[in-house]
Structure 1
Amino acid sequence: MTLLLTAPGGLPTTDLRLAQALADVAAVALVHWSPDPARPMDILTQAQAAVAAKATVEMAQGMLAEYGRLDPAQAMDALHTYCCRDGDRLTEVAQSLVRRTLAPETVLAALR
């Protein structure tokens, strides 16, 4: 994905986050690309699933940041460290945190 600006100064934070979300959706779509002709609903469903997964990860990141008094980058590091250590998928761990079936302190302990 390429972004071209007409003026110097970069993107505002909200636009940068939106661009990152769109790039993430595009990346997920490419990873799951199939040579079979796609139906319009297939593409829509995949895009919706990618956006929902990203939103869940961001909610979990926010929960960890608030619980552990961390900045968002540290919270994401804790989430990634926990997933890598236990071999879990990021979206599954995020869903467990959001559903409150996994305690934030358990994930944050991975940083220690």
Structure 2
Amino acid sequence: MPGARPAGDLRVAQALADVAALALLHWSPEPARPADVLTRVQAALAAKAAVEMAKGMLAEYAQLDPAEALQLLRAYSESKGCCLADSAQALVRRTLAPESVLAALR
């Protein structure tokens, strides 16, 4: 067919249209306020700190290096269908025992 686009071009165009649609769905007419940005940054830092503490706790408990402990924590979170930060916070708050993380992966 004359003037037809290659299939690769059509896939790229569809991907761009999908991204634009998602951007419009999440677009807010009001710019982010400094307090909103600060809250998001603080939440991200708190989550990162919880992950680092949980990684250390798990590494010490199981005599692992920190990278291995992080892999175990990620695998546990994925197996339970929860986010890494939630699992980490549960370990730090001691509502999740390190042996439960290790047992779930055996």
Establish whether TM, by shorter chain, passes 0.5: yes
The aligned counterpart of 1:24 is: none
TM-score, normalising length from structure 1? 0.66
Instruction: Determine if contact 1:78/1:110 at 8 Å carries over to the other structure.
Output: no
The aligned counterpart of 1:75 is: 69
4+ aligned runs moved over 6 Å, structure 1: none
Which residue among 30, 35, 40 is the counterpart of 1:41?
35
Choose 1 or 2 for highest CA Rg: 2
Gaps of 5+ in 1: 1-32
The aligned counterpart of 1:9 is: none
> Paired residues, what number?
80
SS at the partner of 1:88? coil
Larger helix percent:
2
Q: 1:88: how far off?
A: 1.3
Instruction: Determine if contact 1:81/1:110 at 8 Å carries over to the other structure.
Output: no
Gaps of 5+ in 2: 1-25
Structure 2 counterpart of 1:51, which letter? L
Which residue among 91, 96, 99 is the counterpart of 1:105?
99
TM-score, normalising length from structure 2? 0.70
> Equivalents in 1 of 2:72, 2:93: separation in Å?
18
Q: CA RMSD in A?
A: 1.5
Closer, same or farther in 2 for the Cα pair 1:34/1:64, shift >3 Å?
farther
Identity of aligned residues (%): 62
The aligned counterpart of 2:82 is: 88
Q: 1:91: how far off?
A: 1.0
Structure 1 counterpart of 2:38, which letter? L
Structure 1 counterpart of 2:85, which letter? T
